[in-house]
Structure 1
């Protein structure tokens, strides 16, 4: 079956699904992957919310060629209702922008997290799919956003530094945020064999030292069309739909959707994220 047809067939009738895209270091294409995954899912007919959680350093709106009038900071200051902050992107995607150059957002206070929970809870019934473009690294905001999602997609490159940082991210997220399973996407890779080798190294050391499981989600080839799409501020799957990287992204989405989500969001987004905050506070007091 063609990957595009398979994506459509796999999306019907499923409950809200939340995937956080993260990485141990920057520069591995995390935001480009997040925006294109959102486009592919929306193109198949789902209502998609893209949360740019790289607070203060947002670039999802730039990659999609949109100019939001408001950002997450306006919501946290109670100046604008969350629905008025959402910008519309390609194929009806709604984007919650994090804003750029806002230093105070890089470390959310507990009150700001509570306000964010309340705002996102209002949106739960309006979407089928939420993709969270999380910050890179292992900071507090990463633990907050990735730990709250149902699924974590970890982007790693073949560079040794990327592997080291990816392991650090898995360690922090599994031990401090309770994330037990990661889908691993290698970007870029010269071949399937190289991607499998990279995954094997990361999976081997994780299995040896951590209580976390890794699954191979696929790889993206090096493709100059990605750079061209970024420069034109369009998703590569729209600008160059027949390019190698676009077809690979379609395969990644199909692979992710073949497996049902590991947990349901019983009680809603607010319940799940509030529970995460309580557990984080309890660990801090211990």
Structure 2
């Protein structure tokens, strides 16, 4: 048996097409969607991601401005920029790119992003509203997982799901999104006893820990659906997931890295920006 591939490019293309149509209508009405990305790092991987996001924004008609404060920026400077951009009526969405300089906390600084412009769901208030069932943008990667599953008509109601990773970027909000779809969710982390036994209990397993090929075949029950959120750099300049490719030999379905969750995440960030502009 070989797992069917949960590729995200077709779904991402459909999201981009809808986003482009909405962005065009907004521009024609004199209210163009505009995304501001605030960055304060010289990290190469971060720089590559920001450039790719700006290029994707241009492709769907979303204006994108990158504000590079430099790796020496202090927390007060970053907060001031986020606050000012959030207050600007010409700005639809605001993102804070990580990593940040030493002494700057992403969780604390994200509080400066207005909830209605927090297109990547980074503000703790956004996460709280998400948990309470109130309107808010979910972190795009977490939402990308559930959108990918829906695209491939993977049923969630009543199914045991295991999320490996408890970050506020993916693990925790994803657990909430799965609960909202009536899955029975277990969240694992570094202190989880007998991780193999826990993950094997899931009919759906989502790996979001940032450790290359952590989830091997022994972690997954035959016939399970596996979503790989990992994007770990490899020595040759590529990307590797959190899931060992050998899992494909007995899983029912597996998302690839790259080409799975990633394209959907980028498309959703731009869709959120357009939604915020409407």
Q: Report the TM-score, using the length of structure 1 for normalisation.
A: 0.33
Which entry has the higher C-alpha Rg, 1 or 2?
Answer: 2
